[in-house]
Amino acid sequence: MKLLITFSRKGGREPVIARIVKETGVLINVEKANIDSMAGEMLIDVPDEDASVVLERMEAAGVSVRVLEDAIVRDEEECIDCGACISICPQEVFSFDPDWRIRLHPGVCVLCGKCVIACPHRALSLQQ
């Protein structure tokens, strides 16, 4: 399960993720991070069965957590099944079905945004 976490660094530089990994034994995969001196935002991936305990620990540590069910959203009215998103996506989120219609596997999206820029019909957007 993918979780988008945001946190303030005003209170110091406590290694929240490292502490949660150590205390719970849950392996957390950091897929994207944007951290500066004041705040941070991270996209993390955790096993579905461990998501609730990680969520609980994060929130107890003052970290804001959002579950990303469908990180990338496709407007079916706008999509023309051109396949441009297939070639640009580094995570193989897109593929053709047997009828040459685009299908998505949003669970592996890392929110890089490349497909949103590449789509000629502006059919794609990232969950905000």
Q: Which residues bind ligand SF4 (CB under 6 A)?
A: 72, 74, 79-85, 88-91, 93, 102, 109-115, 119, 121, 123-124
Choose between 54 and 102: whose C-beta lies nearer to ligand SF4. Answer: 102
CB of 9 to ligand SF4, least distance (A): 26
Token pair for 128: 């905000």
CB of 57 to ligand SF4, least distance (A): 26
CB of 33 to ligand SF4, least distance (A): 15
Choose between 58 and 104: whose C-beta lies nearer to ligand SF4. Answer: 104
Choose between 18 and 80: whose C-beta lies nearer to ligand SF4. Answer: 80
Which of 20, 71, 76, 65 is closest to 42 using CA atoms?
65
CB of 102 to ligand SF4, least distance (A): 4
Choose between 47 and 83: whose C-beta lies nearer to ligand SF4. Answer: 83
Strand partners, 70: none
